[in-house]
Structure 1
Amino acid sequence: MKKFYQIAVDGPAGAGKSTIAKLLARKLGILYIDSGAMYRAVTYYLLKNGLMNKSENELKKHLKFINIFFVEKKGKQKVYLNKSDITSGIRSSIVNKNVSKVSAKKSVREEMVKRQKTLALNSSIIMDGRDIGTVVFKNADLKIYLTASSYVRALRRKKDLQRINENVKINDLVKQINDRDTYDSSRKISPLIKSHDAIVADTSNLSIYQVLNKICMFLPDELMGKN
């Protein structure tokens, strides 16, 4: 029976999780899933439909109508909510400000984790997020924890926002990131914590390829095509 591999990439916002995970998935030829995009998609849906203050029971009913899927187009992964491409929309400031609150809701977390686990049933996968190695894939073949200084992460976020024509002061972004770190690491459900068996890389002063090279040293030989 063929073995399917699971690689978990965790860390705070702006640490480089998605960038590294995408490149690693491409190098290995395996499925990549941005779990954060799933929570952002739910947040986008709730904001658009005025559902942010609904109870957990009411949210459960609405989650049934949220279909999130990923499509590769010209080498880039697009995020779809039902039939709409929301790739840019989920990176807006309003979603940034609300996604932590939404992802901390029990009903949302349970539903997304269930969907994430299902995605890994029939394929090797690399998934990034905040609780992948501690909740979603507790027995992952490789766990990676990326971090970086809040200032460096704010600079990266500023570039993301500029791509969708939003201009936010760097000091405001640093505060947002620090506030989100505190919120994510202290929430009761699936807090942001480093798994005890994760490889840690501070990406503040490393190039993308330096980070990739470090990670590749720990990959299973079978995934690297050595066997």
Structure 2
Amino acid sequence: MQVEAPVITLDGPGGAGKGTVSTLLAERLGWQFLDSGALYRLTALAAMNHAIDMTNESGLAVVAEHLDVSFLQNDGRTVIMLENDDVTESIRSEKVGSNASKVAAFSRVRDALLKRQRAFAVMPGLVADGRDMGTVVFTQAELKIFMTATSDERARRRVAQLLASGVNADFEQVKADIEERDERDMNRKTAPLVPAEDAIELDTTEMPIEAVVRFIEQEAKARGLMS
């Protein structure tokens, strides 16, 4: 009989720190890691590459169903390949992120990616990062965290990230983009961005990354998910 793998979900808006925290947590636990947002970004980028409009739900669903993607490990980092091209950096652009939010609003696209996401839940366990991991994809998860932070703080973090990558960024524009995406994600009809009823809500505005990771580790230990 197949044993159901334990799952920890980390949901919340962009810039709350989910990606960094979930990656560190998965490494410490020795569990699988799912960056669900990458799948939506990859779908958006593939659609952009094939000149499919972001309002074309049928076309976007076909792209999601036939997504040619692979995640490769290389010297301690994950390399993301789309149609044999390394897109690890390009999927993190603001344009792709904005289009990923539009793509994610379509139920047919979400349905196409649902099975692929659930397949990541294998032993010894899974840390899943996204926007509807606890509310839709892994409703049975033993521990659900909903991370957030003020839009000012999330914009500050994003600008710092872009500058570190050698990309100039305007704080006010980045903040406006974040707030626009929040509005779209929270008010979409399909799987809106909301905390699961049994999620722990965690404001990371003034919390260092290590403090967030320790908090989640303590919650995981309390539930018998780690020693």
TM-score, reference length from structure 2: 0.92
Q: CA deviation at 1:188?
A: 0.3
Which deviations, in whole Å up to 9, do the C-alpha atoms of 1:81-135 show, x marking residues without a partner? 1322211000112212322111112221111122101221555111110000000
**More deviation in 107-116 or 180-189?**
107-116
Q: Alpha carbons of 1:37 and 1:53: their partners in 2 closer, same or farther (altered >3 Å)?
A: closer
Partner of 1:180: 181
Question: 1:28·1:223 contact (CA, 8 Å) conserved in 2?
Answer: no
Question: 1:11·1:145 contact (CA, 8 Å) conserved in 2?
Answer: yes
Q: Check if 1:68 corresponds to 2:73.
A: no
Q: Check if 1:151 corresponds to 2:157.
A: no
Q: Check if 1:224 corresponds to 2:226.
A: yes
Which deviations, in whole Å up to 9, do the C-alpha atoms of 1:122-154 show, x marking residues without a partner? 551111100000000001010011111111101
Partner of 2:121: 120
Per the alignment, in what secondary structure is the counterpart of residue 94 of structure 1?
Answer: helix
Question: 1:91·1:161 contact (CA, 8 Å) conserved in 2?
Answer: no
Q: How many residues align?
A: 225
Partner of 2:57: 56
Q: Alpha carbons of 1:98 and 1:56: their partners in 2 closer, same or farther (altered >3 Å)?
A: closer
Question: 2:60·2:103 contact (CA, 8 Å) conserved in 1?
Answer: no
Question: 2:117·2:137 contact (CA, 8 Å) conserved in 1?
Answer: yes
Partner of 2:39: 38
Partner of 1:82: 83
Structure 1 CA distance for aligned equivalents of residues 82 and 57 of structure 2: 21
Partner of 1:16: 17
Partner of 1:191: 192
Q: Check if 1:203 corresponds to 2:194.
A: no
Structure 1 CA distance for aligned equivalents of residues 226 and 202 of structure 2: 20
Identity %: 37
Per the alignment, in what secondary structure is the counterpart of residue 79 of structure 2?
Answer: strand
Ranges in structure 1 where 5+ consecutive residues have no aligned partner: none
Aligned partner letter, 2:27: R
Flag as ranges the 4+ runs of structure 1 deviating above 6 A: none
Partner of 1:4: 5
Question: 2:153·2:205 contact (CA, 8 Å) conserved in 1?
Answer: yes
Question: 1:11·1:17 contact (CA, 8 Å) conserved in 2?
Answer: yes
Per the alignment, in what secondary structure is the counterpart of residue 220 of structure 2?
Answer: coil
Aligned partner letter, 2:196: S
Q: Check if 1:134 corresponds to 2:135.
A: yes
Question: 1:43·1:99 contact (CA, 8 Å) conserved in 2?
Answer: yes
Partner of 2:30: 29
Aligned partner letter, 2:225: L
TM-score, reference length from structure 1: 0.92
Structure 1 CA distance for aligned equivalents of residues 200 and 32 of structure 2: 21
Q: CA deviation at 1:184?
A: 0.3
